[in-house]
């Protein structure tokens, strides 16, 4: 559901991101647009996302303290896998992305699913300037490792959340193990995702994401690994954050001090 009205918002206490928008990688956009028509195929190139979605959603729902009636923003929504699932659980969802073809697929799939999601082509940094302090929950999943500068996206997610709101990020750690599993294993050996999907240099250590979140005024609540089993086609939460992980933050309800 799109933000409505122009009611007064609390005075922002989180720094504004710098004006945008050069924080987009045209190569990344083109890569995902090529996959747009197959986004909802559970046996296609996006199958792994379908398999991990239930586990991600359980974590998000717990972090949010329930989803029914909550205003939710999904940053980097892609074809809408997470956005639709959040809407199905009673949330009022807005999904944003910068890939036209992928957003069109997301909108068309609503005709089949009958869910209600508002999709927009806009960067998180720009939306943070347009409607700050707006959402009970902000999710940004498997997106930070695909932008040139993830720090401004983290800051924008912080600003988009209401005071007292929750933010959930997910991304990939940067170390030899993650290179072996997320790139060599997933792309070249098992072919779980197309070659070139990931750039190791853009992987993000939990300590880095933690620091960016705290610099944006957020309180880090939890970090949890997400372990994917390609044989069972399922995922589970884990204490092992060496490869995929989720970070749950909250925006303080009031200004500190």
pLDDT tens track for 80-119: 999 999 999 999 999 999 999 999 999 999 999 999 999 9
Place of tokens 């070249």: 188
The helix (H) or strand (E) run that includes residue 249 is: strand 244-250
pLDDT recorded at residue 60 = 98
Phi, psi of 168 (to 5 degrees): -125, 125
Residues 23-37: tens digit of each pLDDT: 888 888 887 888 888
- 117-121: strand order across its sheet: 117-121, 92-97, 71-75, 135-141, 161-172, 244-250, 219-229, 234-238
- Please indicate whether residue 78 or residue 17 has the higher confidence score (pLDDT): 78
Q: CB–CB of 228/142 below 8 Å? A: no
Q: What is the pLDDT of residues 14-71, one digit of tens each?
A: 555 544 467 888 888 887 888 888 899 999 888 999 999 999 999 999 999 999 999 9
Beta partners for residue 139, in sequence order: 74, 168
Q: Which residue has the higher pLDDT, 194 or 99?
A: 99
What phi-psi label fits residue 90: left (phi over 0), alpha (psi between -120 and 50 degrees) or beta?
A: left
Give residue 9's pLDDT band: very low, low, confident or very high (50, 70, 90): very low
Q: What is the mean pLDDT of residues 204-228?
A: 98
Q: 26-250 adopts what CATH topology?
A: Rossmann fold (3.40.50)
Report d(CA 74, CA 59) in Å as an integer: 15
Distance CA 118, CA 191 (A): 33
Task: Give the C-alpha separation, 228 to 247, whole Å.
Answer: 17
Rounded CA gap, 188 and 190, in Å?
A: 6
Alpha carbon separation from 112 to 10, 84, 116, 248 (Å, rounded): 39, 11, 11, 31
All structural domains of the chain with their residue ranges: 26-250
């Amino acid at each position: 559901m799109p933000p409505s009205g122009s009611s007064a918002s609390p005075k922002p206490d989180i720094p504004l991101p710098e004006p945008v928008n050069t924080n987009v990688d045209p190569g990344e956009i083109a890569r995902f647009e090529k996959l747009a028509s197959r986004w909802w195929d559970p046996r296609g190139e996006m199958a792994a996302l379908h398999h991990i979605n239930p586990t991600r959603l359980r974590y998000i729902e717990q972090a949010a303290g329930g989803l029914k009636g909550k205003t939710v923003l999904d940053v980097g929504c892609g074809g809408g896998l997470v956005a639709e699932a959040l809407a199905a659980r009673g949330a009022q969802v807005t999904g944003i992305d910068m890939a036209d073809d992928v957003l069109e697929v997301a909108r068309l799939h609503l005709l089949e699913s009958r869910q209600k999601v508002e999709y927009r082509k806009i960067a998180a940094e720009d939306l943070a300037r347009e409607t700050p302090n707006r959402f009970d929950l902000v999710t940004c999943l498997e997106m930070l490792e695909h932008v040139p500068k993830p720090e401004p996206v983290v800051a924008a997610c912080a600003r988009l959340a209401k005071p007292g709101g929750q933010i959930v990020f997910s991304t990939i750690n940067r170390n030899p193990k993650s290179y072996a599993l997320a790139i060599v294993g997933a792309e070249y050996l098992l072919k779980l995702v197309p070659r070139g999907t990931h750039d190791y240099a853009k992987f993000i250590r939990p300590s880095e994401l933690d620091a960016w979140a705290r610099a944006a005024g957020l309180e880090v609540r939890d970090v949890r690994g997400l372990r994917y089993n390609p044989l069972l086609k399922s995922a589970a939460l884990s204490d092992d954050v060496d490869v995929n992980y989720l970070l749950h933050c909250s925006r303080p309800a009031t200004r500190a001090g």
